[in-house]
Amino acid sequence: MRWGWLALVAIAIGAPIARSQTSEDDAALHRMHDAFVEAFIDSQGFGKRRVTPMMVRMRYYQFEGVGEKGRCVFDVELVGVARHDPPVVHRAGFMGFQHRDDDAAMPALPTSTRTLQAWERQALARLIGGADIVVDAGPGGERAMGPIRARPDCLACHRDHREGEVLGALSYGLGRITVAPDVPDRRDCRPQGINAASTRPSY
């Protein structure tokens, strides 16, 4: 049953949910996602110290931006797949990025989670189908989702998975960098959707 609902979602998807991107946009988003994945799985950052590399990446992409068009990241959420059936989203907050590193079969530590929204289910199905990154433009602004795929060193704990399988995903809130007219050195990352005013950055 783990993947049954994802298969149905994949079949049900009609028009692509990703907004068209230029090759430059795609390359910048891929570099950003790769950097976050490396921070997440960095063996030097396991356990409580895992917060440090994730925070470094978050701070960089929040204020320095993604690519040349002023895009930035105002929050990151973890989509749990390998140890959750059905998958769940850990609410924004870096505590959700910690897990037991000694035994992947152990129950997940209690964290604040929610069920996936429709676009997240569709995006995850596309990632499992082989997509590298999916971008959705909703009322709250743009969000992107990229996969955390199993690597050889992941399989020591995730023994019931194969290399390349999606163990989880990272979901990014994408905004635009703004500069205060009266304080040129002050930069902020703001959502750009219709309901952006109600979307509060998490960090």
φ, ψ for residue 159 (rounded to 5)?
Answer: -70, -20
> What pTM value is reported for the model?
0.74
Q: For residue 23, give the amino acid letter.
A: S
Per-residue tokens: 5: 């609902």
List the pLDDT tens digit at each of the 203 positions of the chain.
444 544 444 434 433 444 445 566 689 999 999 998 988 877 554 444 444 577 778 888 888 888 877 889 988 898 989 888 899 998 765 444 544 454 444 444 556 789 999 999 999 999 999 999 999 998 888 999 999 999 888 888 888 888 889 999 999 999 999 887 887 778 889 888 766 554 444 43
Angle between helices 118-128 and 4-12 (to 10 degrees): 100
Per-residue tokens: 64: 């320095």
Peptide bond into 152 cis (omega under 30): no
Per-residue tokens: 145: 């989702």
d(CA 134, CA 132): 7
61: Cβ contacts below 8 Å, ≥ 6 apart:
32, 35, 36, 72, 73
